[in-house]
Chains A and B, each alone.
Chain A
Amino acid sequence: MNSQSVSELKEEQRTSLRSVLLGIADDELIMGHRHSEWTGWAPHIEEDIAFSSIAQDEIGHANLYYQLIAELDQTSVDMIALGRTAGQYTNAVICERPNRDWAFTLARHFLYEVAERIRLESFRSSSFKPLADASAKLLNEERYHEMHADAWLRRLASGPVEGRTQLETAIGDALGESAGLFEPYQLESEALGSGFLPSSSMELLHVWLEEVCSRIEDAGLPFNISPAPIGEVVPTASGALMGDASSDESVPAAKPAIQRKDGLWIIEGPLPGSGGRLGQHSAEFQDLWDDLTRTYREEPQATW
């Protein structure tokens, strides 16, 4: 059954819809915030403009989702976007990782944009019409982000050795935690039951793995997921510390939790890069949150 608006939903439906919207909105806001950190600092002016524009788009998209959540919560968009504690944000951990360098920025940008398109294509058949409509609209805009990411992947992959090597390492580093973009939302089974989510996060993870693997290999780069965590370790959804093998003598040397065997993707143990959808974040996120919400915390009535 299709829902035209928030007012038609039952209480438990609202809760599961809210958790889906909050996950994707927070991904967009935090990714946009990281991109905006290149404003004034990118390697050349076209890229300064590109990342500033993409940041503006992503934060605008987050704003759209926050408007729907504000309707569910009967509150303001600013309150949702900026008035929460760090532990109430449900973005995937990969989004909050610092930009590090140009290679890591581009690697994550590519992996994120492919994930976002796959997610939006799936949302087009959401039973919640405002989400389905927004997804159709956003796909048209996101196309340019993915074009941009794809152009850089090819440019660096077919260019001089240094850039190619750096990109290869960065992709290996970012790949594992990017899988956390498909960590299930809280109350995902309810959202699937109501048709808000047409496909489960795990189904989409397989689609994403298949696509990024073939695109990376087409560009002439190896598809290797680095087994080491890329930042400080964040508790996973199960509470275990990801990649923390040293504490247990019986565990052999770390190996990637995601591997391809006979054309199938095998995911062993907790999903790398997960925890974000439950509000578990790194200390790096705390710094970002301080920066992002400072003005709002000092002056909640400020208008922009």
Chain B
Amino acid sequence: MVMKLRTRPPVPENPRKLTLARVYELLREVSDPEIPAISIVDLGLIEDVEVGDDNVVHVTCLPTFVGCPALEAIREDIEDAIRAAGAMAEVKFVFDPPWTTDRISEEGLAKLEDYGLAPPSRSRPGAVSLTLMSPGSCPFCGSRDTVLESPFGPTACRATCYCRSCRNPYEKFKEI
């Protein structure tokens, strides 16, 4: 569900030509509304950017979770960011390669932790066992005395964990 209460920037009549560097600069200001702490660039969502001869910016994105309701909001946010800079964007989502949490940048992982969301580890659970999914360290006190409460949480990408050291519940970005 996308709330459409805001007014969107108008489609420019004569789109300007943006450089790739400028496009990436603009994309660094766009974030997943459910994870505002990091940009979609740090999240590894951007697979490719091309600026066409007609000045249209073609942005190819990889969806994080296929059923994630934030995807349409992200599409609009990208279009709006490019429009506000006087150009036009066409956003498409593809599945090849599949997005995985390994695409999140090092900087992105650190920002997630600062935000209070335990970052995913660099290795994904392979076998079918809940015990193989690690709760990671507590983003609040850094303790490793943590337990996984549930592999599901308030959004598709989060698991619910508990820190036995500082006794705080916390959420973790799960590895996919």
Contact with B along A143-164 (1 / 0, CB 8 A): 1101110110000000000000
Chain B min CB distance to A80 (Å)? 17
Chain B residue numbers with a CB within 8 Å of A201 are: none
Q: Can you name 20 extra interface pairs (CB under 8 A) apart from A134-B95, A140-B100, A150-B130? A: A46-B149, A46-B152, A49-B152, A49-B154, A52-B152, A53-B153, A56-B67, A57-B66, A57-B156, A58-B67, A60-B68, A60-B156, A61-B66, A61-B67, A136-B98, A137-B98, A141-B66, A141-B176, A146-B128, A151-B129
Q: Which residues of B contact A (CB under 8 A)?
A: 1, 63, 65-69, 94-96, 98-100, 124-125, 128-130, 133, 149-154, 156, 160, 174, 176
What's the Cα separation between A52 and B149 when bound, in Å?
16
Q: Flag if B99 contacts A137 (CB, 8 Å).
A: yes
Q: Flag if A49 contacts B133 (CB, 8 Å).
A: no
Q: Is A138 an interface residue (CB 8 A)?
A: yes
Prevailing SS type, chain B contact patch: loop
Candidate in B67, B99, B130, B150 with the most chain A CB atoms within 10 angstroms: B67
Chain A min CB distance to B160 (Å)? 7
Chain B residue numbers with a CB within 8 Å of A292 are: none
Q: Flag if A147 contacts B160 (CB, 8 Å).
A: no
27 A-B residue pairings within 8 Å (CB atoms): A46-B149, A49-B152, A50-B151, A53-B152, A53-B153, A56-B69, A57-B65, A59-B67, A60-B66, A60-B156, A61-B66, A64-B66, A129-B96, A133-B94, A136-B96, A136-B98, A137-B66, A137-B98, A140-B124, A141-B65, A141-B156, A143-B128, A144-B152, A144-B176, A148-B152, A150-B129, A304-B1
Chain A residue numbers with a CB within 8 Å of B128 are: 143, 146-147, 150
Q: Is A54 an interface residue (CB 8 A)?
A: yes
What's the Cα separation between A172 and B50 when bound, in Å?
55
What's the Cα separation between A144 and B158 when bound, in Å?
11
What's the Cα separation between A301 and B152 when bound, in Å?
33
What's the Cα separation between A147 and B159 when bound, in Å?
13
Contact with B along A112-148 (1 / 0, CB 8 A): 0000000000000000011001101110110110111
Which residue from A63, A140, A151 sits with its C-beta under 8 Å from B67?
A: A63
Q: Flag if B156 contacts A53 (CB, 8 Å).
A: yes
What's the Cα separation between A207 and B63 when bound, in Å?
31
Q: Flag if B98 contacts A54 (CB, 8 Å).
A: no
Chain B min CB distance to A94 (Å)? 21
Chain A residue numbers with a CB within 8 Å of B98 are: 133, 136-137, 140
Chain A residue numbers with a CB within 8 Å of B63 are: 137
Chain A residue numbers with a CB within 8 Å of B174 are: 144
Q: Flag if A147 contacts B133 (CB, 8 Å).
A: yes
Chain A min CB distance to B104 (Å)? 14
Chain B min CB distance to A60 (Å)? 2
Chain B residue numbers with a CB within 8 Å of A60 are: 65-68, 156
Chain B residue numbers with a CB within 8 Å of A46 are: 149-150, 152, 160
What's the Cα separation between A141 and B157 when bound, in Å?
9
Chain A residue numbers with a CB within 8 Å of B154 are: 49
Chain B min CB distance to A132 (Å)? 8
Chain B residue numbers with a CB within 8 Å of A148 are: 130, 151-152
